[in-house]
Amino acid sequence: MHEPQDGFAVDVVRLAPGGGIGRHPTRLWQLFLVVSGSGWVSGADGERCPLAAGQGALWSPGEEHASGSDEGLLAVVVQCRVRPLPAEESP
């Protein structure tokens, strides 16, 4: 992935079948959006959460995370200094 310019970067990530990105911390907010295919992501707890096209994950600065795919996927990754999505409101 690219080094963020002025605290912002957008990358396209293609994971081959059986591919993955190992655990690492993010320095900024990171939004991982699956465009096609399917796979999984894990956050600080290390538990794998399945994702399909149209779904995504949001990691906060410093959070350890990983991603992978058994069948392959294409994702867009947005990194920025501010939270890229509004926080969910509690009922």
- Alpha carbon 56 to its chain centroid, in Å, reads 7
pLDDT for residue 12? 97
DSSP assignment string, 51-89: EETT-EEEE-TT-EEEEE-SS-EEEEEEEESS-SSPPPP
Q: Quote the pTM value.
A: 0.85
Residue 20's beta-bridge partner residues?
68
Cβ neighbours, 10 Å, residue 57: 19
pLDDT for residue 2? 58
The CATH number covering residue 76 comes to 2.60.120.10
Q: Which residues span the domain enclosing 58?
A: 8-80
Residue closest to 28 by CA, chosen among 54, 58, 66, 70: 58
For residue 43 the two structure tokens come to 């956050």
Residue 52 located in a structural domain? yes
Residue 30 located in a structural domain? yes
| Number of separate domains in the chain | 1
Residue 48 located in a structural domain? yes
pLDDT for residue 41? 98
Name the average pLDDT for the chain. Answer: 91
Grade residue 11 by pLDDT with cuts at 50, 70 and 90.
Answer: very high
Taking 3-state DSSP, the helix, strand and coil percentages for the chain, each rounded to the nearest 5, stand at: 0, 55, 45
